[in-house]
Amino acid sequence: MSSYENRAAYLRQTLQEISPEQALHMVRHDDAILLDVRDADEIKDGLPTPAHHLARGQLELRVHHVCDDKQRPIAVMCAGGLRSLFAAESLKNLGYENVYSIRGGYKQWKESALESRIPQQLSAQAKERYARHLLVPEVGEVGQLKLMNSRVLLIGVGGLGSPAALYLAAAGVGTIGIVDADVVESSNLQRQIIHGEDQLGKLKVDSAAAAIGRLNSMIKVKTHPHYLDESNALEILSQYDLVLDGSDNFKTRYLINDACVKLGIPNVHAAVYRFEGYVTTFGSTQDAACYRCIYPELPPPEMAPSCAEAGVLGVLPGVIGVMQAVEALKVLLGIGNNLIGKMLRYDALHNEVSILQLDKADDCLCGQAPEDIHLKPIEAYACAI
């Protein structure tokens, strides 16, 4: 016998092998993870329905993204039950305590008529385009597929929405919606980099859609050339997984907040003023603060001037809009520490970055049941609510 065969025989004596049926029972009743370590080209024809796919070559590097609980049971599968023994040994060496190798591998799974699915995979074109994402353990092919299946709505393609739209499209977010009823004006071009001089007088949604199409033809763009109000907010927002609020007035921000709270959609909010920018994420759970927790009442006009009234350093919305895009990608991928319950403040003039804690307010709208939340006419937000 070869040393490889000797090693496999030894592992069969020291590791516990289980049948595919036993593995499925553990997944359903013992909170076990089924880990398929076959290569990508091997799973094209089928993957066990409850399985996580993690190719053997990436196992040690990425397994903690699948399971970071060293006591949680893991059942490992390969094609025929041999590689899974070596993979199980590696997991044991990493400190995982309850590891099992599935006897007969996927071949036996199919012969046992257990449920499988044809997994979605990246095309060769997508693998080349997103190659740098695929190298990042927190993203990888699974994360890239999540982005490609995600739907993000941008409220406004002005100073904030312009860079956010371009970077979300470049990152591969599959569907990008844009709400904006304005046309491109010359004064926009100082900061709204998605538009150009050749787009003056055209609808911003059309200009932005054309720019996204030039950057990434794989992206689906849905345009909503309307002003957001109580008559259309719920219908538009309900089509998306995540909202980026780049609006420039308080009335619209209240409306977006109320619609997102009612629909349970995360809202990545940002604002800019001269040299200062702010970014936060209002989560979709009832224990997270919302926009009304910070601003329970509309500030007086002199305390909240728009960019058209107070001005803004042209590059600042680019910085803050890209921060919005970063936050959106983290929320969509479910990775890292996001800004739920926190607000990032950036002072470009003095090179200062600070994090402010946001507390959930008592008796706020975000504590109500969704069916009890009713959107008000947009002009009603000019009054204290």
With a pLDDT cut of 90, the percent of the chain lying above it is 82
Encode pLDDT of 238-255 as tens digits: 999 999 999 988 899 999
Mean pLDDT, residues 318-345: 96
Q: 0.95 cut: is pTM over it?
A: no
pLDDT above 90 for 305: no
pLDDT above 90 for 310: no
| Domains recognised in the chain with CATH numbers | 3-117 (3.40.250.10), 150-382 (3.40.50.720)
Position 385 scores a pLDDT of 41
Encode pLDDT of 185-205 as tens digits: 999 999 999 999 999 999 999
Which amino acid does the sequence have at 296? P
Encode pLDDT of 89-141 as tens digits: 999 999 999 999 999 999 999 999 999 999 888 999 999 999 999 999 889 88
Position 2 scores a pLDDT of 66
Position 301 scores a pLDDT of 66
With a pLDDT cut of 70, the percent of the chain lying above it is 96
pLDDT above 50 for 384: no
Are 163 and 169 within 8 A, CB to CB?
no
* 307 included as an active-site residue: yes
pLDDT above 70 for 306: no
Catalytic option among 78, 293, 307, 366 = 307
Helix (H, G, I), strand (E, B) or coil at 337: coil
- Fill in the DSSP letter of residue 380: G
Mean pLDDT, residues 31-49: 93
Position 307 scores a pLDDT of 67
Mean pLDDT, residues 311-315: 92
Residue 103 CA to residue 131 CA, distance in Å, equals 34
Encode pLDDT of 218-237 as tens digits: 999 999 999 999 999 999 99
Q: Where are the alpha helices (DSSP H) in the chain?
A: 3-14, 20-29, 59-66, 83-93, 105-111, 124-129, 131-134, 140-148, 161-171, 204-215, 233-237, 250-263, 291-294, 307-310, 316-333
